[in-house]
């Protein structure tokens, strides 16, 4: 192939065929146990499904990708379908999320509800009223805006409301421990900085993992299962960390974080 430093090389985390490269962790169960076939691939779509459940029973789930990332853009094309499983909390109606800079799945406790991470919250609107998507929530973490710590667990974006079963594309640009930017359909809707471990909103965690004030410079990516059926037709990452030497064959003009080990 012709060398092109400007061509964006997106990494497809979801191959459209199976869950290769992903591992589930569902509250109350061991890592790798895909209770009720919650996470599955059908007709080229990655599904969060509840047709084999009779009740939710607080079985919050997360599907983790195998690799860690530090500086990157994560993009997902998603939609909400069907009805919420009985017993799902009201706030979880048409609710999913992209967990960023997450702790390793093997460090989660069996009964832990959410991974310590930054959540780019994905929400669908109801028949009426406004409900933004690409919000931010902070399970076991804290963030700042303009040097001021953000109060509360979640902060809304400025996105429009997306109703029904339409597909929505969300992109999150993560710059290591420095800055995060949320985009919906190409428009910036939220920005914040200095993600770090701290605060509450996560239970049954290992205290050795939750080091208060530790900067979040890298971590894992996961999608959620919070009681409403969700479909993903694309999950991809543009790595922003790589060789920044223009003379190298692996150089890309869009890299922002230097990794000389990637130079060839």
pLDDT in tens, 201-249: 999 999 999 999 999 999 999 999 999 999 999 999 999 999 999 999 9
pLDDT computed for residue 2 by the predictor: 66
Report whether 94 contacts 88 (CB < 8 A). no
Strand pairing class (241-242; 257-258): parallel
CA angle 245, 261, 257 (to 5 degrees): 60
| Mean pLDDT value of segment 99-103 | 98
Sequence-separated (6 or more) residues with CB below 8 Å from residue 193? 143, 144, 145, 178, 179, 180
Chain position carrying tokens 């479909």: 231
Position 110 pLDDT exceeds 90: yes
pLDDT confidence of residue 1: 54
Radius of gyration for the chain, computed over Cα atoms and rounded to the nearest angstrom: 18
Residue 3 has pLDDT above 90, yes or no: no
pTM of the model: 0.96
């Amino acid at each position: 192939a012709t060398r092109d430093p400007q061509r964006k090389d997106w990494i497809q985390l979801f191959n459209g065929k199976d869950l290769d490269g992903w591992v589930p962790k569902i509250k109350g169960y061991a890592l790798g146990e895909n209770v009720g076939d919650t996470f599955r691939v059908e007709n080229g779509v990655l599904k969060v499904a509840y047709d084999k459940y009779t009740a939710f029973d607080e079985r919050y789930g997360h599907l983790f990708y195998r690799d860690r990332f530090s500086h990157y853009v994560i993009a997902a094309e998603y939609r909400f379908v069907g009805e919420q499983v009985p017993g799902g909390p009201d706030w979880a109606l048409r609710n999913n999320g992209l967990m960023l800079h997450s702790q390793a799945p093997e460090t989660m406790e069996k009964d832990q509800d959410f991974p310590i991470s930054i959540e780019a919250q994905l929400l669908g609107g109801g028949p009426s009223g406004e409900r933004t998507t690409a919000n931010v929530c902070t399970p076991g973490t804290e963030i700042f805006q303009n040097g001021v710590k953000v109060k509360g667990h979640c902060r809304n974006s400025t996105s429009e409301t997306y109703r029904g079963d339409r597909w929505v594309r969300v992109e999150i640009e993560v710059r290591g421990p420095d800055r995060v930017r949320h985009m919906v359909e190409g428009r910036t809707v939220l920005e914040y900085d200095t993600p770090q471990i701290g605060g509450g909103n996560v239970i049954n965690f290992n205290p050795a993992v939750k080091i208060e004030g530790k900067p979040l410079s890298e971590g894992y990516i996961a999608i959620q299962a919070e009681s409403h059926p969700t479909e993903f037709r694309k999950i991809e990452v543009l790595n922003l960390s790589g060789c920044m030497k223009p003379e190298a064959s692996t150089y890309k003009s869009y890299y922002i974080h230097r990794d000389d080990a990637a130079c060839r």
